[in-house]
Structure 1
Amino acid sequence: MRMILNEKIKAAEVQLTGLNGEDLGIVGREEALDMARNLKADLVCTSLFSSPPPCKLVAKGKAKQEAAKEKQDERRAAQPPKLKEIRLTPHIEDHDYETKRRQAEKLLASGDAVQFVVKIQGKEGQKAKELLEQMLKELAEVGRKETGIQLSGKQAAVRVNPL
């Protein structure tokens, strides 16, 4: 949506809303622009599809800031979540485990999915499964598992999506 500001508004009169959302009624374009200048604000047209067009007074520069933020949010929502892999071992030290958990929390909070992979050899399957279950329990408030824990010959894996 393009934003129409101040002098670019061509309508003879506008339906004006004040800085605090109060309805100021139908006002001539010049009078509305004068009010905007006096209040050090921008006059922003919110829709061109009605007559007179609804306009509002917004603090100087704030309208452009809001539009840029809206555009950025749209772009972010359009991107699919990325999948990040975090590798662990069944015999992980507590400190390393905490580091991996914090890393996963950060990724999930930023909207990316996380795949935990535990490399296993021999009879470490049960230990790997317990490690992943503990990780899932600790990340319950930021993410939810998409798949069950999959145990295959050389690894155990689970995928966690952000909430």
Structure 2
Amino acid sequence: MIKNEKIRASEVHLTGIHGEDLGVISTVEALSMAKKLKVDLICTSLFSSPPPCRLMKAGTAKEEVQKAKPKSGKQEQNAKVKEIRLTPQIEDHDYDTKKNQAHKLLQTGKAVLLVVRIQGKEGPKAKELLERLLKDVVDVGSKQTGIQLSGKQAMVQVNPL
């Protein structure tokens, strides 16, 4: 947020305190208007010429910036995908542990990416393992994509219900 004397442009497109358009005026004139009204001159964007500026209280501008930040943070949290890695030669106990991890993650609302590392001709075995795991977590999640076999891994994404 650039305000007052830090604005380097010679002219600005000014918007008043109540949102009225005051047109294009010199920066010096806009700063003197801001001082008369006891408010700040705040530049809203640097990507246009002349840059659009507003007359507003400094506290109001900071509040607008803070209101915008929490919204973006919440959106990022919802998009999290946790990856669980397995191998085709997994033991029963290890399989149960991975299944329980996937179960817990899906119950908390996170998507899970199940990845099986493949070496050689283990493709069919890996696909079988993923199908078995999908059947075990069907009560808390549904697959977003089909099982994808690509090179050295097989994977499927499971979204919470």
Task: Name the TM-score class by shorter chain.
Answer: 0.5 to 0.7
1:88 equivalent in structure 2: 86
Counterpart pick for 1:143 among 134, 141, 144? 141
Kindly provide the CA deviation profile for residues 106-135 of structure 1, in whole angstroms up to 9, marking residues without a partner as x: 000000000011000111000000000000
The one-letter code matched in structure 2 to 1:158 is: V
The one-letter code matched in structure 1 to 2:149 is: L
Counterpart pick for 2:124 among 100, 123, 126? 126
1:102 equivalent in structure 2: 100
1:70 equivalent in structure 2: none
1:81 Cα shift? 3.6
2:22 equivalent in structure 1: none
Consecutive unaligned residues in structure 2, runs of 5 or more: 1-70
Please give the alpha-carbon distance, in whole angstroms, between the structure 2 residues aligned to 1:112 and 1:82: 6
1:82 Cα shift? 1.2
What TM-score does the superposition give when structure 1 sets the normalisation length? 0.52
SS of 1:90's equivalent in the other structure is coil
Consecutive unaligned residues in structure 1, runs of 5 or more: 1-73
Q: Is this contact kept in 2: 1:81–1:111, CA < 8 A?
A: no
Aligned length: 90
Please give the alpha-carbon distance, in whole angstroms, between the structure 1 residues aligned to 2:127 and 2:117: 11
Q: Is this contact kept in 2: 1:85–1:115, CA < 8 A?
A: yes
Kindly provide the CA deviation profile for residues 68-95 of structure 1, in whole angstroms up to 9, marking residues without a partner as x: xxxxxx9x97542410000000000000
1:153 Cα shift? 1.2
Give aligned-pair identity as a percent.
Answer: 67
Please give the alpha-carbon distance, in whole angstroms, between the structure 2 residues aligned to 1:117 and 1:87: 5
CA RMSD, Structure 1 to Structure 2 (Å): 1.9
Q: Is this contact kept in 2: 1:114–1:161, CA < 8 A?
A: yes
Please give the alpha-carbon distance, in whole angstroms, between the structure 2 residues aligned to 1:127 and 1:142: 24
> Structure 1 residue runs of 4+, over 2 Å off?
76-79
1:102 Cα shift? 0.2
SS of 2:90's equivalent in the other structure is coil
Please give the alpha-carbon distance, in whole angstroms, between the structure 2 residues aligned to 1:77 and 1:107: 18
Q: Is this contact kept in 2: 1:90–1:120, CA < 8 A?
A: yes
